[in-house]
Amino acid sequence: MSSDVSLAPNPESKVENPSAYFQKHPPGITYVQYSLDKETEYLPQIRELISKDLSEPYSIYVYRYFLYQWAELCFMALDTTDNNKLAGVVICKLEPHRGGPLRGYIAMLATKDSFRGKGIATTLVSKAIDLMIEKDADEIALETEETNTAAMKLYERLGFLRSKKLHRYYLNGNSAYRLLLYLKEGVGSMPTDEYSYGDIPFHGEDDQAHQHQDAQDIFSQGIV
């Protein structure tokens, strides 16, 4: 039900040019990597920004799951004209996927309403992609709601391909696309274990009852 062979990206394909080309610098915006010493100032702002566009807000533990383990893969856009307040954020992780490829995962992405359409999210995602490339990632994955035109456009412009349609993926009943960016040739053919340490057993993506049991998917519901 969820897989759609016609959507599968070519496993031999890979990203051709570094994403720096897409990075934009609107006046007053500076880009900063998250670090744990910034938690007091920025975690509340991150939660507020992300939860604004979520149907069910994440608990603080979900944010900490990502930020404590992959702080450097979180980038923030700050408004220098307003006390460096948060204008946008991307939160990611990077780990082997079921014993196979080193997979980057974009978990959350948001830009404050008043700053949208200026290339901020594109720059945040580009910075995350560049760092994952530096860390030898094989591929990058994410899910996004099929009706999220801005996000689909942004990711497809950066080279992400539709890998699967996930029917009624979100708790609000909306469907999603899983998008993949291959960073190395042939990575789509790398073998993976069905069950590997750290994953909750996954019973097949065609089975909707188990769709949300993939540990990675649990943290992606509602936003990407």
Ligand X SMILES: CC(C)(COP(=O)(O)OP(=O)(O)OC[C@H]1O[C@@H](n2cnc3c(N)ncnc32)[C@H](O)[C@@H]1OP(=O)(O)O)[C@@H](O)C(=O)NCCC(=O)NCCS
Who's near 89: CB < 8 A, 6+ residues apart?
34, 46, 49, 50, 74, 75, 76, 77, 108, 109, 110, 124
Within 8 A by CB and 6+ apart from 97, the residues are 103, 139, 141, 192
155-157-168 Cα angle (round to 5)? 35
Q: What are the backbone dihedrals phi and psi of residue 141, each rounded to the nearest 5 degrees, phi first?
A: -125, 160
**32 token code pair:** 């900063």
Least distance from ligand X to the Cβ atom of residue 150, Å = 3
Q: According to the binding rule CB under 6 A, does residue 27 interact with ligand X?
A: no
d(CA 139, CA 10): 13
130-149 binders of ligand X (CB under 6 A): 144, 148-149
Instruction: Please tell me whether residue 150 binds ligand X under the rule CB under 6 A.
Output: yes
Per-residue binder mask for ligand X (CB under 6 A), 43-82, x = binder = ----------x-----------------------------
Binding to ligand X in span 109-128, by CB under 6 A: 109-111, 116-122
Determine the Cα–Cα distance for residues 50 and 110; give it in Å rounded to an integer: 6
Contact 11, 213 (CB under 8 A): no
Closer residue to ligand X, CB minimum distance, 52 or 203: 52
For the CB of residue 84, give the shortest distance to ligand X in the complex, in Å. 18
> Is residue 224 close enough to count as binding ligand X by CB under 6 A?
yes
Select 32 or 190, whichever has its Cβ closest to ligand X.
32
Our CB check for ligand X shows the closer of 64 and 157 to be 157
Binding-site ranges for ligand X (CB under 6 A): 53, 88, 109-111, 116-122, 144, 148-151, 153-154, 157, 223-224
